[in-house]
Each structure stands twice: as C-alpha cells, then as structure tokens.
Amino acid sequence: MAIITFSIDGEHYSAREDQTILEIAREHKIPIPTLCHLDGLSTVGACRLCLVEIEGSAKLQPACTAKPVEGMVIRTNTDRLKKYRRTIVELLASEGNHQCAVCVVNGHCELQNLAYEVGLDHVRVPYLFPSKRLDATHKDFVIDRNRCVLCTRCVRVCHEVEGAHVWDIGGRGINCEIIGDMNQPWGESESCTSCGKCVRVCPTGALFEKGATVGEMHKERGFLKYIVTARNKQQWIATAHEEE
Amino acid sequence: MAQPDTPHTVHPSGDNRFKLLDRAITKHQASGDALIEILHAAQGIFGFLESDLLVYIAQALRLPYSRVYGVATFYHFFRMKPTGEHTFVLCSGTACYVKGSAEIQKAVEHHCNCKFGETTADNAISLISARCVGSCGLAPVAVLDNAVAGKLTPDESLRRIRQWQEERKEEAA
Amino acid sequence: MTLEDLRELAGHEQDRQTKFRFRILYCSSAGCVSSGCDDVKKTLRAALDAGGFAETCELIGTGCLGLCGEGPLVLVQPGPVMYRHVTPAIAQRIVDEHIAQGKPVEEHRVNLADPFFAAQTRIVLERMGTINAESIDECIAAGGYEALGKVLTEMAPEEVVAEIRKSGLRGRGGAGYSTGLKWDIVRKGKADQKYVVCNADEGDPGAFMDRSVLEGDPHRVLEGMAIAGYAVGANQGFIYVRAEYPLAIDRLRTAIRQAEKLGLLGNRILESQFNFRIDLRIGAGAFVCGEETALLRSVMGRRGRPRPRPPYPSESGLWGKPTLINNVETFANIAPIIAKGSAWFSGIGTPKSTGTKVFALAGNVRNTGLIEVPMGIPLRRIIFDIAGGTPEGTEFKAAQTGGPSGGCIPKEHLDLPVDYESLATVGSIMGSGGMIVMDSTASMVDVAKYFMEFCMDESCGKCIPCRVGTKHIYLLLDKISRGEGSAEDFGLLKELCTMVRETSLCGLGQSAPNPVLSTIRFFQEEYTRLLKPPTEFADGGTGGAHASVSAEGKE
C-alpha cells in the first residue's frame, strides 16, 4: 500500500492511500464533527457535517468518504465550513421536537454536543413542530421519533451487524421516518431480536431503554468495534475504556 | 444453487389475483433486485398496495419487511390506499403551472371539497397531482380516467366532474 | 442476419414504399394522442378504404411532428404537406380533396417554410415524421442499424470510443460531461461484467424530448446503446424509463422484441461475436432517480437515494461493476456520428458544444412543441423566430431552462448563445432541454416558489441540507410571496440557498436553489417590493395582520 503526503490545516501528514480524511484526522486528533458516521458501520456521507475544503476543487468533500491524494491541501476549519456546520445543526434543531431538559440523554447527547461545538445559541428558522410517533410497545426499548435525526445508524447496525434488518426508512424528503418491519409497533416485530444495538448506536434520545429517566441514558458504543473486529479479523479486542 | 421455491400456488385467501402476481414474481426469478417491477405488477393487479400484499411480496422475494415498505413509500407512483371510482390527475408540470393549472386546482378542490392527494368522502373521485405528464404543448393538462385532456380550463374541469357526479347519481337511482 | 441481409431488407422495404402514391403520416406521440389523433386515424382509414385508395395510399402512425400545440398533426408525402388541428371532418377533406383531387386543404395547411421548421437542424429527430414509429423495417430502410453493422464489421471498440471522443459529443442529460471520456473510462475498467444504462427518467417538469424520441424512434436509442455496449465491453443494457410515459414504454417493448427477432439485439448480433441484451426498468415517480447514483439504486430495486461520488458509476455502478450511464438523447446521437463521422458532427454547433440540442418549447409562446437546433444558436432566435414569440399583447419576460435545477434568463440576455458554458454564466444550465417561456404576467417569486416546492417534495431525505433546507427555503419564499417577509428573511433566504447549494450530497440538492438564486439575480426588485417596510417591528408573531398586504404580488 502506497504512502502519500498531504497537508491538513497547514500541517503536513502522511498516510496510507486507502485511508479516508476522517480516519487520518482522528488519528492525529484533528477535530472534524460527524453525526451519521460511526466506526464499524458503513459510511453514507449523509449528515454533511464533516465536509472539508480541498484546494483547487470547487466542491466540498465529506471527510468520511473522501481519500487524500498526493500533495492535496485540505482545510477542515475555515469560516465557511464553520458557518455551514452551524446551519446544519440549526436545521436539525428545527426539524425535530428536541427538548433537552426532559430528555433521557441530556448531557450525553451527540446532537447537544454538536450544538455546543458549533456555537448554536439561537435558531433563526422557524421550528417545524412535526407530529411524530413515539412507540413504547417493545418490552425493553422505546423509539421516540421526535428526537430522531435520521442518521440511519440504527438501520445500518441492524442490517450490517445484527443481520435482522428490522429498521428502514419510510417516506421521502422531510416526511422520512424510521420504520420497523411493515411500519408496525415495535413490540409486534417478528424480526427484532431485542439485541439493543440500535439503542446503543443512536446519537440522541430517539432510541432508549425503558426505565431511564432524564439524563440517565448513557450509550456504550465500544461493543461495535469489538464485534466488527472479531468478525472481520477474528480478533477479540478490549474496548471498554475507549469510549469518550 | 437451488432455485428458490415458487411462492404458494394458491393464496390462503383463495384470491386468484395472487396467481397473476406469482407469475410476475417467477418471471423475475423471485429476485429482490426486481422489487420495484414486482410492486408495479402488484399495483396493476390489485389497484393499490395493502400491508398484507407487501408482506406476501417480501416473503416471496426474501426481503426484509421494512425494505419493502421503505421502497413502496419512497416512490410516489405506489399507492397504499385504493383510489375512488374516477381519477382526476392534474399535471403540476412547469408548462401547466405557467398556463394556469393552479386555477384549475383551486376550482376543483373547492368543488369537490377535498384536496389533491385525497379522495372525496363518497369515494367517487380521487384528486391526484402528477409530475409532468409530458404533454406540455397542450398545457394545462389533466388525465381524466386515463384519457388526457389538454388546454383545460377551470370551467371545463368542473363540467367533466359534474358529469361524473351525475352519472353516479343516475346509477344509484 | 448479417449486414448484407440487413441491407437487403432495407432495399425490400424501400421498394415497398415506392409502390404507394401517397404516404399519410399522422403524429402518434402522446401530445397528439391527447388532442384526439385516434379518431383522426379512424376517419382517415375509413375514408381511404371507401375512396378506393387502400392500395395506393399508406396510412402510418409516426413520431412527434414537432408542433404539439397545434395537434393533431397529419403529414402527407410526397410534398410534404402538413396539416394542423385535424378533426375527423378535416381528415375526410384531406382524403377527398388532397388525395383524390391533388388539392391540399389550404386552411389547415402548416407553412413548412416557417422558421419553426426551417431554422431547425435535425439529427436526433431526423426520422420523426418520415417513418412508422412501430415498424423496424421502415427504420432499417431509413438507415437504422447501419451504424451498428459498421462498428461490428469494421471497427475495434477503441476506435468507436475514439470516434465519439473526436466528435466532441457531451452528455445531453444536463451536466455536459464528455461522452467519449466516460466511454473510455468504462472501456478501460477491468471487470468480468459491465453494464450500459440509458437514463430515460425525464423528470424535469416541462420537458418531453426523451419521451418524444422514445415514442417516435425507439430503435435509434437501442442502436446507440448496442454500439456503446460494443465499445465499452458490456453485454447487458437497461433502460430506466418513467412510469408516467406508458406509450414510450409500449413502443420500447415492441422495439426490443422486433430487434431481438431480427438478431439486432441478443446473442451474436449480426452474426458477430457480440452479445447485447436490453431490459426495461420502470421508474415509479421519483425525480431524484434522474441522478445517476440514485438511478442505479432504483434499477436494483432500492430506494432511490444518491451516494457520494467518487466512486463514479463508470468505475463502480450496478452491482459494483463498471457502468456507463447516458441519457436518451446522447444515445440517439451515436448512430449518426458513427455513420457520418465525427468530423461532420463536430462541424455543427460551437467548438466546445458540438452538434445539436433538442428543446421542448412550452409556456407562453405561439408555437409550443419539439425542436432541434444547432448548439450556439442565440436564445432570441429560438424564442422569437422558432417559437414565434409570446402571444399578441403580452411581453417576453424570461425563459426558464434546466427545470428545477436551472434558472430564468431575462430579456437582457436574449442574445446569449445556447451552449453549456454560456448558460452557466447566467446561472442556468442546459439541463435536459425543457424551455419554458414566461411573459410579463408571471411573478418570479411565485415561479421560484413553484420550483422550490417541487425540489422539497422530490428531496430523497438523505442529507440534511436538502431535506430540511429546501423546506425552510420554501417556507421563506411562501412568507415573502404573501408579503409577510422582512429584509432579515430575505437575507436568510439567500444564505440558506448558498448553503444548500454548497453542502448537499447530490445534484438535486446542489442545484435546487438555482431557480431562487437566478430570479434574485435578475429580478431582485420583485422580491424586495414584497418585503415588509423596515419600520415595522419584525416579530413574526403578527402574520395574520399582514396577510392582506400580499394580494397584489400574488396574482
């Protein structure tokens, strides 16, 4: 595998040519915000938070899918990118019904953290106040679509890791929502194994364990790396302390 | 590799239409990649896509239920509810818009007391809004029970609708 | 069948046709079907039979004759003499007077010397109005599949690619990427299986070029795809066609069956070693499936959600294999380029945009319909000469090209040459070829709102900027059009448009703000006129109180 050199935010780096910009940035502790991305799952490039500027290219590229080439000049933190990231989080905030003060993941929520990170102090667009369904029919878990950001991590983990494909996306555009089986109550699902992977990968409080009250729901995601590495490389690695 | 078994030859409901659907499924070797083709066939046979029907298709194609439901709700051509006895499909393309389709929409919605995308309460008429039907030279255009009507006016639209309504009354009487 | 057999068949068919004194061609495309050409056909048939002309006069359904707004259209060969607004009564007169006595029915005669016809250059549409749309024999007699025969007998795949590259042909679906380059990438890809896909998901509202080509001359597209398959090394093709085009689907099915029967598709085409199958895939009402990565997902039976590129479909497309995707009109240009040579083709149009472009003219112009013009023709010539300008008493305001991804071109840019680069300089795009003319009564804010509503409805919902951004842009436009928007709202509108354009995942989202940005650029005054005066306190909570202000801007 060839090694290439390039620059990120003015510093020179080298990496293998099959690595994505995001992987390299994480290795070198260069902060790039992400939402739909999760190590261990396929990449979809959907949230657009990790967009970076590449010199000589008019189009912004998602760091999670783009790979550097020799001599590439990458910028991850320009004023333009900061402004767009703030607007993306702002749009998300307006899209759902997010009430942090009463949310089970208050204080451990990726959307909340992003809002702090991008400095979202107020929302300029009107809140859409959609009417979204909450489903508490499952014996252990709840899905509250009011808090869903449609990152599709649950869809992917259920399909790619658990292999059950309970979740998918129904509808289109602004009316998209996460659906289970034939859009039926979770408790009646024939395909769900109640493994809880979807709950643990969910970045917000849209999927949570029953019984958790405000701020109580912590999501451990180390399991994903453990399983995926075990499956791909036949190596069972300790991950318990890698979170956060 | 063994061929997947053909779906049940007789549907438990005894509904013969499932035989037609099975034929379409067999034609595509029960391949999951042909889901959209199968949904087209199913809608052609049954008129709309009920949950039970989607379950049947999912099982025949060996696809997860949510994938089938997700695909059926992504494409606007697929209907999950039956349509009324008559359909009034108004083209919402640009040429029709420029030529005044909005006036027709307003008049028809007012007359039928129902919005586009819905069916009247008596189940007589479904108002459907279509993306460009491609007859822009004749704008504004509507498709009334599968016949294209060009250079339509609000008055002419209402006349055609009243005609349906009168025919219906006569049949009832 | 060999190439010699093909030529023999062409000869037989030409002989057959010369036996008729007259050929009456009625337009059987969707436009004329809606105007009632079926009744006209029945009357013509009955009148010909009754008058004893069944042996000397052939009646044929042909492809789009162009002047869709004046249908049903009938063309009589030799002459030719074209008739418009043909009712069954007129059809009877055509037989009684023109066929029987040699006296054309003057009141319904179309002047073929009119710029609408005379100013056109027809390559893609050359066989429209000359052949029966459902007869492969007539198509072959008019030179169909000759180019396929030529590549299979005389040319190596790389020579075919080189010829297309030399022609300068660019994709006719919108972005204008070099067709030859794309073919070259797919050809060089190493894989056990490759695919050729024809994008016939003509989703732009107001565009019907592809529909007309598929309805009028489907073999032209099949031949182009087969040549492409030979050039890139693919043996399977798919045509992804919208469900809204039932007639085109019908004609394609017939055409594929006919070509397979004659050995022009399928195994060992023209007794060469080349195999190529074509299957249809029917769309289901999703504009985003015109985007190539979404289209591929849809062909594979999935939700039509785009994915980031690279990898491009030419490297990794259907089932991960190299896949060539071109639009209908692009494929329709292939056979003529091979038959007449790249030099002939690149001599038409401009150096960077070679050949011709088919446009669907609609909106407030006298002549609506289908035209084909050389690239680089001034917009003014299309709108005022070919389309005949706006109707009496109205004034031209703007021409919209490129559909929901394009922009509005105002009066001051009427002398702009119509080619890829020039349209981009005014914030529009060539698009697939819809051209909608608006007169002075059109409100540009409403037009922008119309397109934004379209994009919002058609957003797949995958990426956040497009899913949520188009919704908010629409809400802002709605607020402004009702006279309730503030200067702050207008600023936010512009900011969101730029953001959605730069951050969206696919072409749909990236181009969705174009109609808004282009109308702001050329008609900003129409927006600012609707804004609430700055003296009012813009708290947004008194929307109801301001609702009445809006009336004038709206209608």
Stretch B1-27: mean pLDDT, rounded? 71
pLDDT at A240: 61
Contact B26, B5 (CB under 8 A): no
Comparing A153 with B147, which gets the higher pLDDT?
A153
- CA dist A153 and A173 (Å) reads 18
Contact C256, C102 (CB under 8 A): no
Confidence of residue C430 (pLDDT cuts 50, 70, 90): confident
Please tell me if residue C135 touches chain B, with a CB cutoff of 8 Å. no
Q: Chain A residues with CB inside 8 Å of C454's CB?
A: none
CB-hemisphere CA count at 13 Å for C30?
A: 33
Specify whether C394 is located in the same domain as C469.
no
The Cα-based distances of B155 to B88, C23, C310, C399 in angstroms read 14, 40, 52, 29
Instruction: Give partners of A (≥3 CB pairs < 8 A).
Output: B, C
Specify whether C183 is located in the same domain as C232.
yes
The C-alpha angle with vertex B138 and arms to B136 and B139, in degrees rounded to 5, equals: 65
Structural domain boundaries of chain B?
A: 17-74, 86-172
Please tell me if residue B80 touches chain C, with a CB cutoff of 8 Å. no
Q: Chain C residues with CB inside 8 Å of B134's CB?
A: 30, 202, 207-208, 211, 244-245
pLDDT at A218: 87
- ipTM rounded to 2 decimals: 0.95
Q: Position of tokens 């024999």?
A: C137
Specify whether C168 is located in the same domain as C293.
yes
pLDDT at C443: 92
Answer yes or no: do B138 and C244 touch at CB < 8 A.
Answer: no
For chain A, the C-alpha Rg in angstroms (whole number) is 19
Residue B8 has pLDDT above 50, yes or no: no
Specify whether C390 is located in the same domain as C500.
no
**pLDDT tens per residue across all 244 residues of chain A:** 789 999 999 999 999 999 999 999 999 999 999 999 999 999 999 999 999 999 999 899 999 999 999 999 999 999 999 999 999 999 999 999 999 999 999 999 999 999 999 999 999 999 999 999 999 999 999 999 999 999 999 999 999 999 999 999 999 999 999 999 999 999 999 999 999 999 999 999 999 999 888 888 888 888 898 899 999 999 888 876 554 4
Specify whether C334 is located in the same domain as C366.
no
pLDDT at A46: 97
Specify whether C397 is located in the same domain as C523.
no
Whether residue C280 lies inside any domain: the answer is: yes
- CA dist C8 and B159 (Å) reads 56
Specify whether C60 is located in the same domain as C153.
no
pLDDT at C384: 95
By three-state DSSP, how is residue C511 classified? helix
pLDDT at C547: 37
Confidence of residue B5 (pLDDT cuts 50, 70, 90): very low
Confidence of residue C382 (pLDDT cuts 50, 70, 90): very high
Whether residue C3 lies inside any domain: the answer is: no
Answer yes or no: do C368 and B137 touch at CB < 8 A.
Answer: yes
> Average pLDDT over chain C, rounded to whole?
92
pLDDT at A111: 97
Residue C553 has pLDDT above 70, yes or no: no
Confidence of residue C298 (pLDDT cuts 50, 70, 90): very high
Structure tokens at A194: 């109640």
pLDDT at C537: 54
Q: Position of tokens 């767009």?
A: A84
Instruction: Tell me the per-residue pLDDT of C188-232, one tens digit each, with 9 for 90 and over.
Output: 999 999 999 999 998 888 888 999 999 999 999 999 999 999 999
> Average pLDDT over chain B, rounded to whole?
89
Domain final residue, candidates C285, C315, C346: C346
- Terminus-to-terminus CA distance in chain A, angstroms? 31
- CA dist B53 and B37 (Å) reads 14
Answer yes or no: do C461 and A48 touch at CB < 8 A.
Answer: no
pLDDT at B92: 87
Q: What is the span of the domain harbouring residue C262?
A: 143-346
Specify whether C417 is located in the same domain as C313.
no
Specify whether C431 is located in the same domain as C448.
no
Q: How many Å lie between the alpha carbon of B28 and the closest alpha carbon of chain C? A: 12
Specify whether C157 is located in the same domain as C251.
yes
The closest alpha carbon to C518, from C398, C379, C416, C418, belongs to C398
User: Could you say which residues from 305 to 344 on chain C have a Cβ atom under 8 Å away from some Cβ of chain B?
Assistant: none
Residue C105 has pLDDT above 90, yes or no: yes
Number of domains within chain C: 4
The Cα-based distances of C483 to A128, C381, C522, C543, C546 in angstroms read 21, 37, 20, 10, 7
- C146 contact partners, CB below 8 Å, separation of at least 6: C6, C7, C10, C335, C339
Instruction: Give partners of B (≥3 CB pairs < 8 A).
Output: A, C
- CA dist C359 and C208 (Å) reads 8
Instruction: Tell me the per-residue pLDDT of C520-532, one tens digit each, with 9 for 90 and over.
Output: 999 999 999 999 9
Structure tokens at B99: 């030529």
For chain C, the C-alpha Rg in angstroms (whole number) is 25
Long-range contacts of C42-50 (CB under 8 A, 24+ apart): C42/C88, C43/C88, C43/C91, C43/C92, C44/C74, C44/C91, C44/C94, C44/C95, C47/C91, C47/C92, C47/C95, C47/C96, C48/C24, C48/C95, C48/C99
Rounding to the nearest 10 degrees, give the CA dihedral for residues A196, A200, A205, A210: 40
Domain B86-172 fold is: Glutaredoxin (3.40.30)
CATH (domain of C261):
3.40.50.11540
pLDDT at B11: 62
- CA dist C162 and C147 (Å) reads 15
pLDDT at C543: 41
pLDDT at C548: 36
- CA dist B39 and B37 (Å) reads 5
Stretch C340-367: mean pLDDT, rounded? 95
Binding-site residues on chain B for chain A (CB distance < 8 A): 51, 54-55, 64-70, 73-74, 76
For the four alpha carbons of C104, C107, C108 and C113, in that order, the dihedral sign comes to positive
Structure tokens at B97: 């818009």
Q: Report the amino acid identity of residue A137.
A: T
CATH (domain of C414):
3.10.20.600
pLDDT at B6: 46
- pTM of the predicted structure, to 2 decimals: 0.92
Instruction: Tell me the per-residue pLDDT of C134-147, one tens digit each, with 9 for 90 and over.
Output: 999 999 999 999 99
Instruction: Tell me the per-residue pLDDT of C142-178, one tens digit each, with 9 for 90 and over.
Output: 999 999 999 999 999 999 999 999 999 999 987 789 9
pLDDT at C191: 96
Confidence of residue B32 (pLDDT cuts 50, 70, 90): very high
Q: Which residue of C503, C505, C511, C539 is the best one to mutate when testing the A interface, meaning the one whose CB has the most A CBs within 10 A? A: C503
Residue C427 has pLDDT above 90, yes or no: no
- CA dist C96 and A43 (Å) reads 70
Q: Chain A residues with CB inside 8 Å of C472's CB?
A: 91, 94, 125-126
Specify whether C335 is located in the same domain as C367.
no
Sorted by where each starts, the structural domains of chain A and their CATH numbers stand as 3-77 (3.10.20.740), 83-233 (3.30.70.20)
Whether residue C417 lies inside any domain: the answer is: yes
Whether residue C8 lies inside any domain: the answer is: no
Please tell me if residue A97 touches chain C, with a CB cutoff of 8 Å. no
Strand partners, C59: C24
Contact C319, C300 (CB under 8 A): yes
Stretch C4-14: mean pLDDT, rounded? 96
The closest alpha carbon to B162, from B138, B141, B143, B144, belongs to B144
Stretch B32-54: mean pLDDT, rounded? 95
Burial A155-169 (b: 16+ CB within 10 A, else e): bbbbbbbbebbbbbb
User: Could you say which residues from 245 to 264 on chain C have a Cβ atom under 8 Å away from some Cβ of chain B?
Assistant: 245
Specify whether C177 is located in the same domain as C108.
no
- CA dist C13 and A197 (Å) reads 68
Q: How many Å lie between the alpha carbon of B55 and the closest alpha carbon of chain A? A: 8
Q: Position of tokens 């020579």?
A: C159
Residue C35 has pLDDT above 90, yes or no: no
Q: How many Å lie between the alpha carbon of C446 and the closest alpha carbon of chain B? A: 10
Instruction: Tell me the per-residue pLDDT of C36-76, one tens digit each, with 9 for 90 and over.
Output: 899 999 999 999 999 999 999 999 999 999 998 898 999 99
User: How many residues can be counted in chain A?
Assistant: 244
Residue A189: what are its φ and ψ, rounded to 5°? Answer: -65, 135
Residue C506 has pLDDT above 50, yes or no: yes
Among C259-268, C395-404, C428-437, which is the least confidently predicted range?
C428-437
- CA dist C120 and C128 (Å) reads 13
Q: Position of tokens 């029960």?
A: B30
